[in-house]
Amino acid sequence: MKPITTRAAVWVSICIFTAVLTLTAEQPAVQSPQSGLYRKALKLEETHEFTRAETIYRDLLRRCDSEQSWRLKRDAQQGLSRIEDMRAKFVWSEAQLQEQLAKTYRDFRPSEMAEWERRGWLLAWKVDGKKLYYNTNVTNLQFFDTAIMARNEPAAKNFLKFARLFLDESARLDRLRAASSAPQHYVDPVRFVFTTKVVVKQSDLPPGRLVRAWFPYPLLTPAAQNIRTVSVQPAGALKSCPDVEAQVGIACLEVPRPEKEDLVIEMKVAFDAFDTDFQIVPDAIPPYDTQSDLYRRFTRSEQQMALTRPLRELARSVVGHEDNPYRKARLLYDWVCDNVKYSFVWCWRDATFTYGCASEEVRQRRIGDCVIQSLFYAALCRSVGIPARVHNGPIFPPGMKNDHVWAEVYFPRFGWVPVDVTYSEVASMVPGLTDAERRTIRNFFFGRMDRWRLVTQRNDLAQELVPLKRSARRRTTMFVTPELECDGQEVPKRTYTWSCEPEQTKAIQ
């Protein structure tokens, strides 16, 4: 065996140290009987034995009284929250699901349901031994087949507007490209103001003296520049200047708990948003520096992007003998758009991030929402040597607001290029589009991107908040909504509103 060089030894030491830190962050600090109970509860939760898992989680909450066991207490609270979410979603019997399908889809026949379930289009679990259907099956079904979506006329009409929005964006970028004397990757900026507001009724505030809040804050990217805080209410609540180059965009605020009135916290942040329009010549891409930190970081296997043998074999079967990174990324993009159907599964997704693997779930099921579709695509790219990562944050196209996750792939000389498999797959299957329009949408979301989105978390999902939140997270996978606690206790009830509107109608010069 060759001796380890100094540089290699340092790299190995860093890897070991990072692994130790990761294990320390993810596992209880002390391997106690309580931590063994927690692992047992996780197993029960994974097999959908919710009642038994809940009993253990509640037992852990009673046992975890010491300051040293706060993390285990938080994890148990998180487990109860996950189960509550899943119980609220897996609620319908077969007869109840049929009733809802009949209300939603024209000419529904009960005999269709068996075929849809056989194809994996209807998600059902045995919860505590009883078969129950996911209540979002009704809306998810329309994303599996254009003809089915057409039978839900109100939804089809709305999705057609959604698709035409991006067809118009594509045409506008074509005009800007034709008028430009040289290729530009980031064009036509507009200044937006991102406003977030939380209201908590006095009666819903836990006892305590201090309310701490973590608000999502825009991160600096080539498509989001000149970020600045416009205002914060109450005055003086912002405790530190948010780091716009961090992995998670966090504004940490602290407010004395009001004695009589409701709690109101509001933040306004301005930023310049650019459309993205890459014009890439595939043969102009130079080779990767496979020894660079960037290449190693974004081609490695991770918990939610596991480069398993079946996944590598799948990726190789898609790209074949193609060597060009751009063409490989495009082949994988087309394959995911054609073979992985959108399905809104957020509570299942949060569970997957706790005791599963998102990329393997998608590989096996061939369904997923924007989070796990994007992770799956990034994992496929990594498995064939293309650096890839994911971003998440609020999106605000005209007439809609949501949160979203999309991918990026890296090409030398060009940098990080956006890829949105979810929007491409959903928009291109809408009834009423021509084949040419479907191709336009498919092309748009590979290397182009609208400016109606901002990044609040990048590279890794399910990151811890800074400073650490000691109570259960409202959502662990994505950081797009505020988190609050009062003297370490979760503030579960609140009203959250947000908007992202142009500060001025004229484009920035």
Write out the H or E segment, with its range, that includes residue 276: strand 263-277
Q: CB neighbours of 156 closer than 8 A, spacing ≥ 6?
A: 142, 149, 150, 430, 431, 432
How far apart, in whole angstroms, are the C-alpha atoms of residue 501 and residue 398? 9
CA 112 from centre of chain: 32
What's the pLDDT score for residue 147?
A: 96
What pLDDT is stored for residue 25 in this prediction? 38
d(CA 90, CA 123): 9
pLDDT band at 415 (very low <50, low <70, confident <90, very high): very high
**Looking at residue 69, what is its pLDDT?**
86
Which residue would you say has higher pLDDT here, 420 or 10?
420
pLDDT at site 2: 34
pLDDT at 352: 86
8 A C-beta contact, residue 308 and residue 360: yes
6 pLDDT band, cuts 50/70/90, is: very low
pLDDT value, residue 347: 75
Residue type, 75: D
For the ranges 11-15, 204-208, 231-235, 494-498, the lowest mean pLDDT is seen at 11-15
17 pLDDT tier (thresholds 50, 70, 90):
very low
Which two structure tokens, joined as six digits, stand for 448? 């182009």
Q: What are phi and psi of 495, to 5 degrees?
A: -110, 125
Residue 479 exposed, middle or buried by CB count within 10 Å (0-12, 13-18, 19+): buried
Per-residue confidence (pLDDT) for residue 348, from 0 to 100: 75
Contact by Cβ (8 Å): 153, 430: no
For position 428, what pLDDT does the model report?
83
- pLDDT digits over 249-273, tens only? 999 999 999 999 999 999 999 999 9
- Per the model's pLDDT, the better-predicted residue between 445 and 23 turns out to be 445
| pLDDT above 90 (res 397) | yes
Beta bridge partners of 497: 197
Q: Which of 149, 147, 165 shows the shortest CA–CA distance to 157?
A: 149
Read off the pLDDT of each residue in 119-143 and give the average, rounded to a whole number. Answer: 95
User: For the chain, what percent of residues have pLDDT higher than 90?
Assistant: 84
Task: Output the pLDDT for position 349.
Answer: 80
The pLDDT, as a whole number, for residue 40 is 96
Q: Give pLDDT, residue 504.
A: 65
DSSP bridge partners of 403? 394
Q: Which residues touch 326 (CB under 8 Å, ≥6 apart)?
A: 280, 282, 285, 411
Pairing type for strands 402-411 and 388-395 reads antiparallel
Residue 507 pLDDT grade (very low, low, confident, very high; cuts 50, 70, 90)? very low
Sign of the C-alpha dihedral computed for residues 168, 169, 174 and 176 taken in this order: positive
pLDDT at 21: 34
pLDDT tens digits, residue range 72-125? 999 999 999 999 999 999 999 999 999 999 999 999 999 999 999 999 999 999
Strand-strand pairing, 341-342 and 367-368? parallel
Q: What is the pLDDT of residue 474?
A: 84
Average pLDDT, the chain: 91
Quick check: 267 and 231 in contact, CB under 8 A? yes
Exposure letters 376-401 (e unless 16+ CB within 10 A, then b): bbbbbbbbbebbbbbbbbbbbbeeee
Which among 107, 45, 143, 135 has a CA at the least distance from the CA of 370? 143
Alpha carbons 316 and 328: distance in angstroms, whole number: 9
Looking at residue 8, what is its pLDDT? 34
Q: What is the pLDDT of residues 26-60, one digit of tens each?
A: 444 445 778 899 999 999 999 999 999 999 999 99
- Pairing verdict, β 263-277 and 448-449: antiparallel
- Are 419 and 329 within 8 A, CB to CB? yes
Average pLDDT for 359-368: 93
More confident residue, 272 or 71: 272
Q: Tell me the average pLDDT across 166-180.
A: 96
Q: Copy the structure tokens of residue 104.
A: 């939603």
Predicted local distance difference test score (pLDDT) of residue 236: 95
Residue 242, class by beta-carbon neighbours within 10 Å (0-12 exposed, 13-18 middle, 19+ buried)? Answer: buried
Residue 11: what pLDDT? Answer: 33
Q: Is the pLDDT of residue 170 over 70?
A: yes
Q: What does the pLDDT read at residue 65? A: 73
For residue 214, name the pLDDT band (cuts at 50, 70, 90): very high
Side-chain-side CA neighbours of residue 155 (13 Å): 20
Query: Which residue in this structure is represented by tokens 């070991």?
Result: 16
Closest among 484, 464, 471, 499 to 394, alpha carbons compared = 499
pLDDT value, residue 9: 35
- What domains sit in the chain, N to C, each tagged with a CATH number? 28-89 (no CATH), 186-275+464-502 (2.60.40.2250), 281-446 (3.10.620.30)
Residue listed under structure tokens 């003809």: 147
Note the pLDDT of residue 64: 84
Task: State the first-to-last Cα distance of the chain, in angstroms, to the nearest integer.
Answer: 61
How many Cα atoms are found within 13 Å in the side-chain-facing hemisphere of 397? Answer: 16
Region 116-135: mean pLDDT is 94
Block residue for tokens 């825009």: 218
Residues with Cβ within 8 Å of 417's Cβ and at least 6 positions away in sequence, in order, are: 278, 280, 408, 409, 410, 411, 447
